[in-house]
Each structure stands twice: as structure tokens, then as C-alpha cells.
Amino acid sequence: MKRAAWAVPALITSYALLGLLMNSVGTVILQSIAHYGVTKTHAATLEACKDLSVVVASFLFATTLPRFGFRRAQIGVMLAVAAGAVAISFANSFWAMQLFFVLVGLCFGIAKVATYSSIGLVRPDPARHASLTSLIEGVFMVGILAGIWLFGWFIGQDATGQGWLGVYRVVAVLAVLTAILWWFADLDEGAAKPVEGPSGYRDAVALLALPSTIAFLTAIFLYVLIEQGVGTWLPTFNNQVLHLPGAMSVQASSIFIAALAVGRLSASGLVARLGWLRLLLGCLGLIAALVLLTLPTTQGLQPRAEMGWFDAPIAAYIFPLIGVFMAPIYPIVSSVVLSALPRERHAAMVGLMVIFSALGGTIGSFITGFTFDRFSGQTAFYLVLVPLVLIALALVRLERLTRKTQ
């Protein structure tokens, strides 16, 4: 295989590994509540640690990465993740977890800008760009799914309250192997170099002033607010509302991630048939229907001894299926906007996208955790109906603006 051909598997692998870590926060929150004695609100700071670090990384590095090099940035990120994972595998405190998620957020912020900016380099035409974007995001979900079961296995084998931290040694090995994969890859980054015109932060500000960018970032912010709010707190919802055992609560949350993976991997074919706006509005309606049909069945459930997969509440299997319909929103909207921009402006737009995604994740997790703690898990998940309506309005606005521009 030629060195250039290694770029796509390297993009997919590094992004999936970081997805595993970024989305392990729900599992770590559950473990922190159980073993470190922190409250739900305090545990929710882990989400802020990773997401605010993503904002910082995107703000500082998004517009300078084209000059530094996307490939070199990916190698550095993987080595930093490996070192951090080895360190946290020997730590056993909540503050250490907070520091680790700060590192993970910084690495993810850099890697996401590099990944999305690199897609336009290896797949420049719009159709192949959308296809590769959906593939990368789909495998990203597969990585998260694998991480849930990996964490679940270590938690199930843990008899001391510390044994589950061994999962991070496995992560460290995977990160080193991914860095080696990037070392052998070749990526032609000439088209991403800045050209005459707005550059750096001025380019990001210029993009931010466009009405289409405002509509796009609003949709992205609200989508991630929902996805992270549900994904982060689903293990705790399974444990405290559905009364599933601890390890099973983590593993059952993998249904949501699997649903996201299925939705993203299958989205590209449906876009061509239905059009992106019609498809996404239909998805939003189906999400709302599942929420309204499923959550009422979770009221009044009581703990049962030795609950297993065959006698778990039906909501444990049905509610997470909202992921199938949530999945196409992020990659499709991102591809619509990025494929309409020159490649030298992708890094600036991706930087804005990452910042608003991170802010949405932090706020979504905090709102969900606060509502869960003060009211109930059902109330926390009913709140997703509000941003669903706002996303629909933003998508309609974005479609009108892009059609007018074309």
C-alpha cells in the first residue's frame, strides 16, 4: 500500500480512539459517584473539563494547524494521549480524572480540526467528502461502542474499586499504534495552506459574521447539547431510574452509541434520495416521537434482585434508539457547509464548529445533570424536546441561505 493510502485509515483510527475517550465521561461519572463520593453536579464537571479544553485548543490552534501540519499534529496528539493514559491508570482520585479529561479535550480539539480539514484534502469533491465524513463519524461511534464494552468489562472484573483503571493501559497501547500508523501515512497538505485574503483569526471572524454560519453553528450547538446530555447521563439513568446493575448500566448505554453508528453509516445513501433537509426534519420528528412514547414507561419502576438482560425494562432498549435518528444530523450539516467553502478556509470553519460543539456538550451535560439531581431523570430527558424544535428552525434557515447563495 502506498503511503498516501494510509491517510484514510489513520484519520479513522485516531478519531475513533479519541471518541472512545471523550465519550467515556458518562462511565467515569458513574464510577466517580460510586468510588470517589462526589455529587452528580460535581461529577458533571468532568464534562466541562474535556469540553472547555476543546474550546481552548480550537481557539488557540485551529487557524495555525495548516502551517504546523495536520499529520504532525495527529502524531503528537496520539503520543500525548498514550502518556496521559499510562499516568491515569495508576491514579485513583477525582482530581486526577479532571486533569486527564483536560488533556483529552485539548487533544481532541486539535485532532478534530486536523481530521475535518484533512477530509477535503483526500476527498475534495462534495459527494465523496460527504461519504467519507459519514464513514469517519460512523466509525467514531463504533469506537465509542467498543469503549463502552471495554470499560464495562473492566468494571465487571473490578473487585477493589481501582482495577477498572487498567482500561487506560489498553488505551495507551492503541494510541501508540495509531501514532505509528500516522508516521507511515503521507498527506498532501499543500491545498490547505493559507492564500491571500483573510487568514487566522480574521478568517474565523469573517466566517462568523455570515448568516449561514450562524444558522449552522446554532444547529451544531443544539445537536451536541442533546447528544452529550443523553449520552453522558444514560448510564446513570439506567442505574438510578431503570435500576440496572452498575456494569449492565454502562453496557446498556452502548445501545445508544450503536444506534448512532448505524444512523451515520447508513445516512449517505438516504441523503441522495430524500435531500438533506427533508431527511433531517424527518429524523427530528422521529426523535420527538420516541421520547414521548418511551419515557412515560419509566415511571414507578422498582429495584429487582439480579436483574439481567432478559428482564430489564423495555425503555432500556427502546429509548436509546433515538440515536439512529440523531446520527445523520451532525455529519450531513457539517458536510453541506464545508463542501461549499474553499479548502483553505476549512480549518477556520472547523475551529468554530469544534468550539460551539464543545460549548453545547458542556452546557447540555450540566443542564441534564442539574435537572436529574433536582427533579428526575425523566424530566432531564424530556428537555431534549426544546432544542429539537430550535434545530428544525435553524436547519430550515440554513437551507434557504445556502440555496440563495448557490
pLDDT tens digits, one per residue of 368-392: 988 988 888 899 999 999 999 999 9
Q: What are the cell numbers at 9?
A: 485509515
- pTM metric for this prediction: 0.74
Which pLDDT score, from 0 to 100, does residue 190 have?
63
363 touches 355 (CB < 8 A): no
**HEC states along 192-214?**
HCCCCCCCHHHHHHHHHCCHHHH
Q: Which phi-psi region, left, alpha or beta, contains residue 187 (left: φ > 0; alpha: ψ -120 to 50)?
A: beta
Phi, psi of 90 (to 5 degrees): -105, -5
**30 pLDDT higher than 70:** yes
Residue 272 pLDDT class (50, 70, 90 cuts): low
pLDDT at 69 over 60: yes
Q: Residue 195's pLDDT band (boundaries 50, 70, 90)? A: very low
**If you search the block for the grid coordinates 439480579, which residue do you land on?**
306
The phi, psi pair for 300, rounded to 5°, reads 75, 15
Count of domains forming the chain: 1
Q: Which of 329, 300, 334, 311 is nearest to 133 (CA)?
A: 334
**Grid cell locating 263:** 444512523
pLDDT band at 78 (very low <50, low <70, confident <90, very high): very high
For 321-335, the pLDDT digits (tens) are 999 999 889 888 888
- In this prediction, residues 307-333 reach a mean pLDDT of 90
CA distance 79 to 271: 37
Query: CB of 61 within 8 A of CB of 110?
Result: yes
Query: pLDDT band at 189, cuts 50/70/90?
Result: low
| Among candidate residues 14, 108, 109, the one with its CA nearest the CA of residue 58 | 109
The predicted pLDDT at position 198 comes to 46
| Average predicted confidence (pLDDT) for the chain | 84
CATH of the domain at 79: 1.20.1250.20
Please say if the pLDDT value at position 401 is more than 90. Answer: no
The percentage of residues in the chain with a pLDDT greater than 90, rounded to a whole number, is 31
Quickly tell me which residue has 479529561 as its cell.
Answer: 101
Across 375-391, b (16+ Cβ under 10 Å) vs e yields ebbbebbbbbeebbeeb
* Predicted local distance difference test score (pLDDT) of residue 196: 46
Residue 285: pLDDT over 60: yes
For residue 74, give every residue at least 6 positions away whose Cβ sits within 8 Å of its Cβ, in sequence order, or none: 10, 14, 111, 114, 115, 179, 182
Q: Quick check: 404 pLDDT over 70?
A: no
Q: How many residues does the chain have?
A: 406
State yes or no: pLDDT of 130 exceeds 70: no
Where helices occur in 195-275 by DSSP H, the ranges are: 200-208, 211-240, 246-252, 254-265, 267-274
C-alpha radius of gyration, the chain, whole number? 20
HSE (side-chain half, CA atoms, 13 Å) at 204: 20
**Domain carrying residue 248:** 3-190+198-405
**Per-residue burial over 205-223, b = 16 or more CB atoms within 10 Å of its CB, e = otherwise:** eebeeeebbbbbbbbbbbb
Helices 346-374 & 45-61 angle (0-180, nearest 10): 170
Choose the weakest-confidence range: 59-73, 118-132, 328-342. 118-132
Q: What is the pLDDT of residue 406?
A: 55
pLDDT of residue 320: 94
Q: How far is it, in rounded angstroms, from Cα 172 to Cα 167?
A: 9
From the list 233, 288, 282, 286, the residue with the least C-alpha distance to 256 is: 233
Q: What is the DSSP string of 101-162?
A: HHHHHHHHHHHHHHHHHHHHHH--SHHHHHHHHHHHHHHHHHHHHHHHHHHHHHHHH-SSSS
* Residue 193 predicted with pLDDT over 60: no
